[in-house]
Structure 1
Amino acid sequence: MANDDGTMAEARNPKSLVNSLAKGFRVLEAFTASEPELVLSDVARRAELDAGTAFRMLNTLVALGYVAKVPGTRRFCLTLKPLELGFNAIARTELRDLARPVLRSLVGEVNEAASLGVLDGTYVVYVERVQAGLARMGVDIRVGSRIPACHSAIGHALLAFLPEADLGKVLEGSDLDRSDPGAGVNSPQALRQRLAAIRRDGYALSDWASVNGLRVLAAPVLGRDGIAVAALSVAAPAMRLSAEAFVEAVRMPLVARAKELSLAFSAAS
């Protein structure tokens, strides 16, 4: 039986790949939240396919129910069927069910959104979310959204409580060279220092006041072994409170709810 490293190496071997399947997924990934409807030429360009191949891929995906033709137009769009695959991957029904009332309790006068995220490779996937008014501020985060773990408070709260071997894989696969004023890290050394502080304090802060006018605080949800299985985060407009006042107002309830969810998850699993 191959170990994990052997399996990954085999998966990267071109002889082990089904190119037509890869092309089909590139077609699906061409659609985005900002542009949910595309014409054939757009799909071909984004998926880096010729028009004929893109046409056959789209027709196949339409027949399978993953893509639909927009009535009265030449455009295509995703159906809800791909959600079935995503929700199978992030199911953890017990964790999501346990988290919903916790998230609701964290949305109030200060926080306009509360989220639950899990680690998927080098990204955080949002698996549950409660929000009030952030959509009007141009923040497009929803269940299923993915953000880089190394450049987010919710990601840092997860990474700070990973085994060293798992953390090393995330760092190796992440782009830490670019400037990141919100998360405050742009090198593995800086990130490791930040993660050490998060382990000490029990929470992570991203101050995006100068980027999108938001501040985000996150705390880990730990399993019995002390390893993060998820993280909770809350977000609030920067205009409402200073960074210091935001942390002071939110830190204790957020950390307390994260610990409660940790205990509930451990008891249920």
Structure 2
Amino acid sequence: MIDRSSPEFVEALARGISVLEAFDAADPEMTLADLSRKLDMPIATVRRNVLTLEALGFIRRHNKHFLLAPRILSLGSSYLNAFGVEEAVMPELQRLTSLFGDAANMAVLDGMNVLYVAHISESRGVRRTASLGVTYPAFATSMGRVLLASLPPDDANGYFMDFNPVKLTDYTVTEEADLRDILADVRVKGYSITVDQLDYGITAIAVPVKDATGRTVCAINSSGYTPRLTSEELLQQRLPELRLAANRISQLFSRMPALLHSLTPAIGTLK
């Protein structure tokens, strides 16, 4: 993978993508000046990018404010359709939610975060919830810890070089030494359980999904409301079903190599 210093790197394209990524729940609508400040980008550069994206239909304007247009969803749906994510993953996630209720998810490691690429839920709680395309800090999630535990040593050390955690609840583990110990335990056991790490009321158990060589490609989990879950239920009921689901998804990779190649992390690319 090339880096930003390579002559093959297209800076203009990177700037356009960063403009799209700047819109979020905190800033759904922004002026050019707002975007310039948020991205630390010259306002003239922001203007060219915004107007180009507006012409392509990915951004709309309301008075002097700009916001994402519905067409942005086509980028995500193209991914799902191209790689058959729903065909490969959703039946197993649906099976898990049918067995246990609550929610089931699949995620990959995306820099310092986990990125949710599949999600299904029967919950209607007011606590923080996952959805397709959402990212959360890897260190505070069950799937994130599974994926971090599977990293090659150099990538793991690279992760901790940039480790700057925020305590999300009173229980969130933020000390590097403690997290390294947790990841070592996850590596041995082959699963991760988190309780009130990401948000109060969220308990989850996750396992890795591997390819034919044994390399971890992604992770799946089953999560629910903390007061209703016990360690015994997670280990005796959910863990065997999660491992069955992971095995079935892994077997599908042989029939869907494009999906496997898309999900598989590149060595040395944790940024």
What TM-score, normalized to structure 2? 0.77
Name the stretch that deviates more: 234-243 or 73-82. 73-82
**Matched residue type, 1:47:** L
Secondary structure of 1:116's counterpart equals strand
Matched, 1:75 2:75: no
The size of the alignment, in residue pairs, is: 256
**Matched residue type, 1:131:** S
Report the alpha carbon displacement of residue 128 of structure 1 after superposing the two structures with TM: 0.9
Counterpart-to-counterpart distance in 2, 1:140 and 1:68: 28
Q: CA RMSD in A?
A: 3.2
Q: What is aligned with 2:159?
A: 170
Write out aligned runs for 1:51-62 (5 A).
51=43, 53-62=45-54
Name which of 113, 121, 125 aligns with 1:123: 113
Q: What is aligned with 1:192?
A: 180
**Matched residue type, 1:217:** I
**Matched residue type, 1:100:** M
Report the alpha carbon displacement of residue 82 of structure 1 after superposing the two structures with TM: 4.1
Name which of 245, 248, 253 aligns with 1:257: 245
Report the alpha carbon displacement of residue 81 of structure 1 after superposing the two structures with TM: 4.2
Deviations 1:87-117 (A, max 9, x none): 6677772454211100001114744211111
Name the stretch that deviates more: 84-93 or 230-239. 84-93
Name the stretch that deviates more: 59-68 or 39-48. 39-48
Q: What is aligned with 2:132?
A: 143
Contact 2:140 2:198 in 1 (8 A): no
Q: What is aligned with 1:29?
A: 21
Secondary structure of 1:239's counterpart equals helix
Counterpart-to-counterpart distance in 2, 1:230 and 1:91: 18
Counterpart-to-counterpart distance in 2, 1:220 and 1:150: 15
Contact 1:107 1:132 in 2 (8 A): yes
Contact 1:149 1:156 in 2 (8 A): yes
Write out aligned runs for 1:154-233 (5 A).
154-175=143-164, 178-179=166-167, 184-187=173-176, 189-208=177-196, 211-233=199-221
**Matched residue type, 1:169:** G
Name which of 31, 48, 51 aligns with 2:40: 48
Percent of residue pairs bearing the same amino acid type: 28
**Matched residue type, 1:257:** A
Name the stretch that deviates more: 29-38 or 61-70. 29-38
Name the stretch that deviates more: 18-27 or 245-254. 18-27
Report the alpha carbon displacement of residue 42 of structure 1 after superposing the two structures with TM: 3.0
Contact 1:96 1:127 in 2 (8 A): no
Contact 1:202 1:255 in 2 (8 A): no
Secondary structure of 2:229's counterpart equals coil
Contact 1:179 1:186 in 2 (8 A): no
Contact 2:106 2:118 in 1 (8 A): yes
Query: Structure 1: which 5+ residue stretches go unaligned?
Result: none
Name the stretch that deviates more: 250-259 or 161-170. 161-170
Task: Determine which structure has greater relative contact order: mean sequence separation of CA pairs < 8 Å that are 6+ residues apart, divided by chain length.
Answer: 2
